[in-house]
Structure 1
Amino acid sequence: MKLFTHKKAFYILWSGQSVSLLGSGLTRFALMVWAYQQNGSVTALVLLGFFASLSFMVCSPFAGVVVDRLPRKWIMFCADLASGLVTASLLLLSLHGELKFWHLYLAEGLSGAFDAFQSPAFFSSVSLLLPREEYARSNAMIGLAKSAVQVVAPALASLLLTVSGLHLVMSIDLLSLLPGLAAVLLVFLPRAERTQTGMAAAGNFWYEFRFGFRYIFAHPGLSGILLIFCGINLFAGFTYMSILSPMILTRTQGDQMALGTVQTVMGIGGILGGLVLTLWRSPRRKAALFTWSTLISFGVCDFLTAASRSVVSWSVAGFLSEFSIPFMVSPFYTLWQEHVPADVQGRVFS
């Protein structure tokens, strides 16, 4: 029985995932500060992002096959639950005074692997719940939630660390998981209709594993924009996800408030960009919008960030970069959702 219309189902799913994302953001920021305070090692912080990215990339092609074979609703539920169990394990280790660096590396690796299943299941669900003209707006809303977390999580995590400590932060993260799981259980998520492409892609696991690559290379437009986006993710992984936070902490002698300020301003930029794109609904020239946004974010703002030495200049560069990112990410996902049949999106997206 359908409890909600497809559009309402998306809003419920988006709301629950956004709350869960906030909890994860709190723990990620708190653990990063804790790790830096232990020995002041920038390399240790960079490795956290490295292990998460590595496991995500390794697991993604396998996860895509699973996403297309099994109900995406339950894939999201299991992936979220597994991530919560990782956080619970870290909390128990911390409570007993046994938390070590290698535990964080393992946790990041596991979280990246679970995200490899959750992300394609979530993004491919958009085309199952919403009409084509709503794709751009829904992707902007997803980006808006991530930017809002970037604003709230650093400031709130810093406050909680000062008032209570790491245990409270991870406890709140576990509580925030409940709305996310409840939202997944509440919504009706239809199975993707079988298409000729999907039937041609059916086979054993390894045949379906290779299909995503074959499909992409058979469509030059998609493969071209994918190569660009892979390069973007690679540089983003080494800059904003891995190097930016250690760089700011190093140049400010470990001032977590300075780091929180920069990340908050960056998040505000992302929120404003997401709001503009949400109101814009469906831009027509998606490829051009993607290209110009990429040039602004990575061609201009990255240089300003690297050359800066103050919180103000980092904040300005970060604000401009994050403001442009929704105009880059939303058109990218919308193009794929529009051109890839829903029953093979898991393999292709992964």
Structure 2
Amino acid sequence: MSDIQIMEKTRLTVLREMRLFIIVWVGQLIALIGSSTTAFALDIWVYNRTGSVTQFALVSLFNTLPLILISPIAGPLVDKWDRRKTMIFADVLACLGTIAIGVLFVIGRLEVWHIYLANTFTAVFMAFHTPAYTASTVLIVPKQHLNRANGLMSLMFGISLIVAPTLGGVLLSIVHLQGIILFHVSAIFIAVVSLMLVRFPEVSTSAVATAKSSFMSEATYGFTYLIARPGLLGLVLFSASSFYLVGGINVITIPLVLNFVSVSFLGTILSLFGIAILAGGLLVSIWGGLERNIYAIYGCMLLSGVFIFVAGLQASLVIFTVGIFLFFLTQPIVSSSTQAVMQNKVEPSVQGRVFAIKGAIEAAAFPLGYITIGPLAEKVFEPLMATNGSLAGSIGQIIGVGSGRGMGLLLMIMGVLTILETSIAYLYPRLRFVEDELPNVSNAVAMAADTASSQNDAVSLIS
């Protein structure tokens, strides 16, 4: 057998072993494109209607805040419910808010506050959908393919970042907002059908998951679980720091790029960053990651610091774009490797609770980057690096002065702090040896999946 035939056989084996995940993933990808396209169109509608950056920003706030607040409640329920059915009901119910927006738009009664309310309504159900989807991965993907599955999850978000703005712009000019909402509903329908076509393997529930306890202890169980395992807690906080960086870089990118080019070219730069995320996810899904995920996390976070530092070093659009492109290229590797460690170390019957808390912490870190880095850039660093600023005669002689140089200096500081943070994290033994000190749970899950497969063909279609 030739090397090419062996490679083809290997690819077919991987696809066969991941077929259940891929069916679900394709449906969720289509749903994400639909929801992201609608979100883009609603963002444009709000900004055109109000002309207010603050009201525009509130759209994102109402998308994020419910996820942070509801996750501690959603996690315990996800662990008790069937995760496939939870995803189905969450998809359908979350879509009702979008349908309401469409109806209000058609009858000419749509107001900005309706969008805030609809986003809150949708986010509540996504607080159930996200941990259910994440916790399901370990049930439907063999251990050796977890990094590939997580890479495909990153790839999914990369695709939506590229496709949604382009598709949204085209559809807005052709079918307008009501047509985009109809497209969104159709995409959700496809996602629901893909979930209805498959069965998830059942894994026996542990005594911890079934034990009766108070509402408060259920809601805080994810925190308690992580605190009892310092290595996992450190991993979640380390991962959250990458979300903080993404939020901070996002808020700096637009004003910094506009110092060099027009608004029309800004979209191209942002699309390049979406391509970087897509490429990183594709790389992980093909490569499969390192055997020791923690080393991939350390390495990519260290490189992230270097890339951010370089991005702010000179008043050059090319250097900034290359540096931030490489930064975003590393993020899918960090997120997929982090997720693989969590999936391997957290008992499947409590993953809903733990992943809900993980998601809430990461979701909180992202806007925190916005609300801290943005004011620092505008109120502190830009004045310091102005032509007559306090640092113009010192640091300004090295990296330049004027508009955008304060943001450049802030990027350099963020890069140095990221390198320092990674070095400190490496010296923390509980995090460095988290894959050695905590037992794997995936092997037991694989055995359960194999048993279910032999009895009922876990990936069979519903007749």
Please give the alpha-carbon distance, in whole angstroms, between the structure 2 residues aligned to 1:180 and 1:267: 23
Deviation at 1:313, TM superposition (A): 6.6
Contact 1:272 1:323 in 2 (8 A): yes
The equivalent residue for 2:34 is 23
Gaps of 5+ in 2: 1-15, 357-463
CA RMSD of superposed structures (Å): 2.8
Query: How many Å apart are 1:150 and its aligned residue?
Result: 1.0
Residue equivalent to 2:288: 281
Are residue 224 (structure 1) and residue 234 (structure 2) matched?
yes
Q: Does 1:212 align with 2:222?
A: yes
Partner secondary structure for residue 220 of structure 2: helix
- Is the 1:305–1:318 contact (alpha carbons within 8 Å) kept by the matching residues of 2? no
Tell me the alpha carbon deviations over residues 98-135 of structure 1, each in whole angstroms, 9 at most, x when there is no partner: 22221222222222222211111001101111221111
How far apart are 1:214 and its partner, in Å?
1.1
From 189, 205, 209, the counterpart of 1:178: 189
> Deviation string for 1:236-280 (max 9, x for gaps)?
44653xx3687589879994x545423322221112111211111
Are the equivalent residues in 2 in contact too, given 1:158–1:260 (CA < 8 A)? no
1:158 and 1:268 mapped to 2: Cα distance?
Answer: 18
- 1:178 deviation in Å? 1.1
Structure 1 segment 139-178 matched on structure 2, within 5 A? 139-178=150-189
Q: Tell me the SS of whatever aligns to 1:284.
A: coil
**Alpha-carbon offset, residue 59 of structure 1:** 0.4
Question: Quick check: 312-321 or 226-235, which moved more?
Answer: 312-321
Residue identity in the other structure for 2:326: L
- 2:158 and 2:195 mapped to 1: Cα distance? 22
Residue in 2 that maps onto 1:102: 113
Alpha-carbon distance change, 244 to 134 in structure 1, aligned in 2, over 3 angstroms: same
Q: Which amino acid aligns with 1:8?
A: R
Q: Quick check: 1:265 aligned with 2:272?
A: yes
In 1: Cα distance, 2:78 partner to 2:66 partner: 17
Select 2:344's aligned residue among 315, 338, 342.
338
CA distance 1:226–1:30, shift in 2 (3 Å): same
Provide Cα deviations, 1:65-119, integer angstroms capped at 9, x if missing partner.
1100111111101111112111111111111222222122222222222221111
Pairwise CA distance, 1:161: 1.8
Q: 1:90 to 1:247 in 2, by over 3 A?
A: farther
Query: What is aligned with 1:115?
Result: 126
Distance 1:106 1:217, change over 3 A: same
Instruction: Tell me if structure 2 keeps the 8 A contact 1:128–1:190.
Output: yes
User: Within 1, Cα distance between the matches of 2:307 and 2:128?
Assistant: 33
Identical columns (%): 30
Change (3 A) 1:258 1:98: farther
Aligned twin of 2:297: 290
Higher RCO (CA 8 Å, separation ≥ 6 residues): 1
Asked if the contact 1:215–1:348 (Cα under 8 Å) also holds between the matched residues in 2, the reply is yes
Counterpart Cα distance in 2 of 1:289 and 1:216: 21
CA contact (8 A) 1:29 1:154 kept: yes
- CA apart distance, 1:192: 3.0
Whether contact under 8 Å (1:136, 1:282) holds in the other structure is: yes
| Range moving further from structure 2, 177-186 or 222-231 | 222-231
Aligned to 1:138: 149
**CA shift in 2, pair 1:305/1:113, >3 Å:** farther
Contact kept? 2:254, 2:266, Cα under 8 Å: no
Distance 1:63 1:301 in 2: 35
Shift of 1:10: 1.3
CA distance in 2, matches of 1:247, 1:48: 20
Q: 2:94, 2:316 → 1: CA distance?
A: 36
Pairs within 5 Å for 1:301-340: 301=308, 304=311, 315-340=321-346
Q: Distance in 1 between matches of 2:48 and 2:109?
A: 16
Deviation at 1:234, TM superposition (A): 4.2
Are the structure 2 counterparts of residues 193 and 298 from structure 1 closer, same or farther at C-alpha, using a change threshold of 3 Å? farther
Pairs within 5 Å for 1:227-266:
227-237=237-247, 239-240=249-250, 243=251, 247=255, 255=263, 257-266=264-273
| Alpha-carbon distance between aligned partners in 2 of 1:246 and 1:24, rounded to the nearest angstrom | 23
> Looking at CA atoms only, which structure, 1 or 2, has the larger radius of gyration?
2
Displacement after TM superposition at 1:228 (Å): 2.1
Q: What TM-score comes out, normalization by structure 1 length?
A: 0.87
Q: How many residues in Structure 1 have an aligned counterpart in Structure 2?
A: 341
Q: Does 1:191 align with 2:202?
A: yes
Q: Check whether the contact 1:155–1:261 (CA below 8 A) recurs between aligned residues.
A: no
Q: Where in structure 1 are there 5+ consecutive unaligned residues?
A: none
Aligned to 2:74: 63
How far the C-alpha of 1:297 sits from its partner, in A, is 4.2
**Cα contact 1:49–1:237 (8 A) shared by 2:** no
Distance 1:348 1:59 in 2: 13
Determine the C-alpha separation between the residues in 1 that align with 2:75 and 2:213: 14
Structure 1 letter corresponding to 2:293:
K
Is 1:79 the counterpart of 2:85? The answer is no
Using the TM superposition, give the Cα deviation of residue 30 of structure 1 relative to its aligned residue in structure 2, in angstroms. 1.3
Deviates more, 1:141-150 or 1:157-166: 157-166
